[in-house]
């Protein structure tokens, strides 16, 4: 048997991050010298890319979600509704925003084989108090929202597609985020298109778009300090998510930042012109970047074919086109995930563990039911990197480490 250390190599100089977005000098230059109407240009470009009438931009995805929920609460047809249906396993900041908006998260279990709601889960939890059903496209997967749409129509609620990790993914020929009533996207660090921070909301029809516009008219616009901080964040994240910087960043705990409530905050202001200019330069390259991510995900899958004890990501079939921001594996033996992550890290490959607890474990007020599928994902999820820093040698070496480690455990 080969010792684990023989497949690992100390990687101070090169440690592949779990996720990253390409950022060239051209994008930096655009951010340093943005056009006065850069935000409006970026908004129109995104609307064209998504094939929707308009988009609304904010300082972060969390800001965008908060403003969207405020918009929904102001709609006369939705007055008095106080519940938002959420997956029991998703980014904890989503639940915090729902609570901040004075609403009640209603959790529904997910299927670890599909990462979508369990069959019948939304219908069993929706009712007259339901304001919205949130459908998540995690890790860049493209999941159907047909059931949620039918349930929402039956109870008079709306569907919000959380495509924060899936900008550019498509389902049935249309961009994810445009099948429901509203789509939510993130421009944060490591997302498919990253400006170092930012959020996007799009609306399915003109009535919804007009409601968003009324809310966004009251949104504070960023000043000089916010613009400077946005560029500084972009620079810091670019360094941290570089193979030469990720080793140090992970040693400092950067891979666990999302686990802490201190990182769930958000400012109620718009996107800066500098960030919009960066996004405007990156957007034409998004499909090519995502195609390369898909190719790397496929290479991982080919190398790991037949690996035992793993629940694979759902096949996207002819209807779905994932972007695979990360390649998710769920281990059936949940005790193995941390050990596998450590072995890959020792070899300079930044596998992720994402959120390690279900929402009811993080927010005690939400406890009261069992969520076995969500718990299995929280305990056993391991995501493999598909970003532009990953090469074929990383994939072959990582696959060998996973095979050996699972044989040893």
Q: What is the pLDDT of residues 218-272, one digit of tens each?
A: 998 888 777 788 888 788 888 888 888 887 777 666 555 555 565 567 889 999 9
Tokens at residue 403, please?
């095979």
Residues spanned by the domain of 402? 4-20+286-408
Q: Tell me the residue ranges of DSSP E strands in 308-360.
A: 310-311, 320-321, 326-331
For the CA atoms of the chain, what is the radius of gyration? 21
Facing residues of 161 across strands?
135, 183
CA-wise closest residue to 206 among 387, 348, 54: 54
Q: Tell me the residue ranges of DSSP E strands in 110-172.
A: 130-136, 158-162, 170-171
Residue 170 lies in a domain: yes
| Pairing mode, strands 326-331 and 310-311 | antiparallel
16 and 120: one domain?
no
Q: What is the mean pLDDT of residues 147-168?
A: 97
In whole angstroms, what is the distance from residue 55 CA to residue 164 CA? 14
Report whether 16 contacts 394 (CB < 8 A): yes
298 and 204: one domain?
no
101 and 183: one domain?
yes
Q: What is the CATH number of the domain that holds 370?
A: 3.90.1150.10
- pLDDT tens track for 21-32: 888 888 888 888
DSSP summary character for residue 219: S
Q: What is the CATH number of the domain that holds 107?
A: 3.40.640.10
Residue 233 lies in a domain: no
Helix H or strand E segment including 184? strand 182-186
- pLDDT tens track for 36-53: 999 999 999 999 999 998
Residue that terminates a domain, selected from 216, 237, 257:
216
Residue 259 lies in a domain: no
In whole angstroms, what is the distance from residue 64 CA to residue 46 CA? 15
Q: What is the pTM of this model?
A: 0.92
- pLDDT tens track for 63-86: 999 999 999 999 999 999 999 999
């Amino acid at each position: 048997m080969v010792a684990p250390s023989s497949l690992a190599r100390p990687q101070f100089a090169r440690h592949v991050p779990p996720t990253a977005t390409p950022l060239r000098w051209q994008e930096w230059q655009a951010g340093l010298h943005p056009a006065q109407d850069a935000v409006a240009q970026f908004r129109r470009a995104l609307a064209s890319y998504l094939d929707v009438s308009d988009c609304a931009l904010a300082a972060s995805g969390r800001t965008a979600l908060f403003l969207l929920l405020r918009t929904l609460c102001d709609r006369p047809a939705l007055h008095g509704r106080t519940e938002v249906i959420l997956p029991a396993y998703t980014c904890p900041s989503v639940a915090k925003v729902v609570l901040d908006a004075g609403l009640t998260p209603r959790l529904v279990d997910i299927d670890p084989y599909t990462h979508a709601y369990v069959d019948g889960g939304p219908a069993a939890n929706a009712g007259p108090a339901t304001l919205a059903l949130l459908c998540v496209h995690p890790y860049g997967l493209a999941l159907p929202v047909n059931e949620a749409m039918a349930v929402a129509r039956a109870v008079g609620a709306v569907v919000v597609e959380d495509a924060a990790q899936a900008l550019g993914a498509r389902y049935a020929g249309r961009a994810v985020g445009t099948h429901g009533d509203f789509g939510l996207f993130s421009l944060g660090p490591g997302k498919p298109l990253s400006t170092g921070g930012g959020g996007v909301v799009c609306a399915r029809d003109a009535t919804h778009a007009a409601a968003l516009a009324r809310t966004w008219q009251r949104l504070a616009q960023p000043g000089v300090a916010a613009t400077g901080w946005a560029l500084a964040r972009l620079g810091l994240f670019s360094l941290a998510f570089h193979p030469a910087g990720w080793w140090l960043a992970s040693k400092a705990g950067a891979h666990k930042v999302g686990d802490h409530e201190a990182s769930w905050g958000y400012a109620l202001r718009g996107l800066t012109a500098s960030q919009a200019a960066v996004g405007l330069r990156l957007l034409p390259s998004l499909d090519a970047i995502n195609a390369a991510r898909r190719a790397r995900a496929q290479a991982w899958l080919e190398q790991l074919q037949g690996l035992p004890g793993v629940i694979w990501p759902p096949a996207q079939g002819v209807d779905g086109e994932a972007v695979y921001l990360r390649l998710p594996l769920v281990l059936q033996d949940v005790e193995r995930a941390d050990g596998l992550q450590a072995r890959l890290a020792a070899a300079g490959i930044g596998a992720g563990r994402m959120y390690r607890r279900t929402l009811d474990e993080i927010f005690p007020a939400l406890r009261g039911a069992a969520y076995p599928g969500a718990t299995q994902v929280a305990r056993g999820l391991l995501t493999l990197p598909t970003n532009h820093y990953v090469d074929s040698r990383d994939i072959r070496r990582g696959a060998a480490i996973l095979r050996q480690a699972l044989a040893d455990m």
